[in-house]
Chain A
Amino acid sequence: MKYALYTGCVAKGAARELLTSAQLVCEKLGVELAEMTDAACCGAGVIGEDNPMVADILNARTFSLAEAQGLDIMNICTTCQGVHRKAQRKLEKDPAYMERVNAELQKDTGREYKGTVKIKHFYEVLLQEIGLEKIREKVVRPLQGLKVAPFYGCYALRPPEVNDLEDPDDPNELERLIETLGATPVDYEERLKCCGFPIMMMNRDNSMKLAGNAVAGAKDAGADLIVTPCPLCHLNLDAYQPEIESRVGRKLQMPILHIPQLVAMALGVPKNALRLQTHIVRPTGMLAS
């Protein structure tokens, strides 16, 4: 099993521990990765609001790079994943527009997107391609007794037609993965809500309120940690947790892990390889030992 690894910008910038842990898990599971070092930013939905066609050309270029490698794409960020899938669907649904985008792409790069690449997030590869049974067999350090609150992130959920969730209104994919690792999933009201990251620079008050609700909601439901497939959710919930704590008026100290970090722990990857010490809220107890 081999994928073209699309790292996205954040896993090369403020969340480098995500890239490291995803690579380590894939090594353990026998998934080969070819990093797409020539792929550009997906635009995070922002370039598409400045110039939609430029965003579509950039993403068509990324898809064409994977096609040239003969590989499907693995994302490790749900924002990249959601933006890629939306772009792909837009091109699929409108062949005339896809022709225009390809014509522009060809002019600048000589490349063409043929429409054959599949795009999956890391956790979708685990659930759909490898399968939870196989992962269960590879668990050497079950996360027994650990209460884990999944935080899906908007792009993993909406729009539902671009995601592969069995029930997008009440998904259980992350919960099933958490159980497979031996931990206990925690149910809480905010698990499907927005973390507030996209408006951090536009309206910090609202962004912090959304983040505060998520972290406090998980805490009140008894979670030991939050796990998320989106590094942007991770950043808002982790890097700003001191500000969140002062707003909610109590200590939360809630570690926010990337999905690959949690999987890696259960698969027996040494903890110091997971760069948990780079988190603003450092995991303690069982997670640290």
Chain B
Amino acid sequence: MANNKVLFRIQRFDPEKDEKPHDQDFEIELLPGATILKTLHRIRAEQDPTLALRYSCGSAICGSCAMKINGHAILACKTQASECVRDGMVRVAPIGNLKVLRDLVVDIEPFWESLGKVNPYLMPAGEAPDKERAQTPDQFGSIDPSTTCILCAACYSDCNVLGVDPSFLGPASLAKAHRFIFDSRDANDQPRLREISERTGVWDCTHCGECSTRCPTETKPLERIEEIRVQAMADEHHGNAGARHALGFRETVGKRGLLDENWLALRSAGFFNVAGLISLMPVGLRMMMRGKMPPLIPHSIDKADEVKKIFARFEELRK
């Protein structure tokens, strides 16, 4: 049994005593089948009852026990401790992008505030019916993944954009918006799509994929963000750089098979956006001077006609 001893290196912070967080090591024997949460409970029971952490159901339903293990957000109750050992050690820290209150406990308030910004409730048309508003299984199917979110904030923790800009709506809120945009009973989908296409919304996501990688449910926020973008494009919410960027791809790849990077930059900025176009000049000139500018006469692939034909049926395929 002694061979099962590992080191839990836990980030500690007591706002009354510490200026900044510090690590504390706990040696503990890993019990077979024990989760990270169970192991932390044992550390509290056997070694240090002052260790603060959030938890409740222990069954991956309440979403309370998200924390960082070895630098990445996980749900402590859903993760086997034995799978997290690296060189005899498990590093434990609070989730990221939120202020630490004490040890593994963060101030979750900004997460709730962000959710509130997407109007996370049904906005149906007309008077409420006598009975419930029914949905077919197919209709529910389109929102099934986004309804599984348990609001654990693992995605919020590891989102690269939130790391540099707290005003970004973030993956959980965008997935929550998806849940109502695609709800057959909601009548507010177009205003929702319009708002979410603006700054701090879907097009500000970098596609880094952290949210879906860390998500412990089937919500997979990046996939939901992609579905929102597809819908926003289909419903012609084109008055933003993200949509113009996608149109630039459609226009150039659809013609030559290859992307015309020069056109794409101008198209994304917007042809009437003088300030935006001027802001591209320094980098454009710099690249030109170094011979790094993409060719002014863009390349075509061989057999570009095949690609043209595929794009020509674009509208048909969209349906």
Which residues of A approach B to under 8 Å, CB–CB?
9-10, 12-16, 37-41, 43-54, 57-58, 61, 104-105, 107-109, 111, 154-155, 157-160, 169-170, 193-194, 196-199, 201-207, 209-210, 213, 239-240, 242-243, 277-280
Contacts and interface: CB of A to CB of B under 8 A. Distances in A.
B250 interface: yes
10 contacts: A38-B303, A54-B311, A61-B310, A104-B313, A158-B209, A158-B213, A199-B203, A199-B206, A206-B161, A210-B161
Contacts of B295: 13
B71 interface: yes
Nearest to B318: A51
Contacts of B103: none
A210 B160 contact: yes
A122 to B, nearest CB: 19
Interface stretch (B1-9, B127-135, B170-178, B286-294): B286-294
B206 A14 contact: no
A205 to B, nearest CB: 7
Contact of A40 (B230, B240, B301, B313): B301
Contacts of B287: 14, 239, 280
Contacts of A243: 282-283
A263 B244 CA distance: 38
A57 B209 contact: no
Contact of A169 (B71, B204, B208, B292): B71
Interface residues of B, number: 68
Nearest to B268: A201
A44 B258 CA distance: 11
Given A170-B70, A170-B86, A278-B290, A46 B208 contact: no
B246 interface: yes
A14 B203 CA distance: 24
Contacts of B294: 13-14
Contacts of A16: 292
A57 B261 contact: no
Given A206-B168, A242-B282, A199 B313 contact: no
A159 B121 CA distance: 30
Chain A CB within 10 A, most for which of B207, B241, B293: B207
Contacts of A37: 301-302
Nearest to A37: B302
A39 to B, nearest CB: 6
B42 to A, nearest CB: 24
Interface of B: 70-72, 86, 160-161, 163-165, 168, 199, 203-210, 212-213, 226, 229-230, 233, 240-242, 244-247, 249-250, 253, 257-259, 261, 264-265, 268-269, 279, 282-283, 286-287, 290-295, 299, 301-304, 306-307, 309-311, 313-314, 317-318
Contacts of B283: 239-240, 243
A9 to B, nearest CB: 4
Nearest to A16: B292
Contacts of A107: 313
Contact of B206 (A43, A48, A160, A210): A210
3 closest A-B pairs by beta carbon, nearest first, are A158-B209, A13-B294, A201-B268
Nearest to B287: A239
B253 A53 contact: no
Given A53-B317, A201-B268, A154 B258 contact: no
A32 B268 CA distance: 38
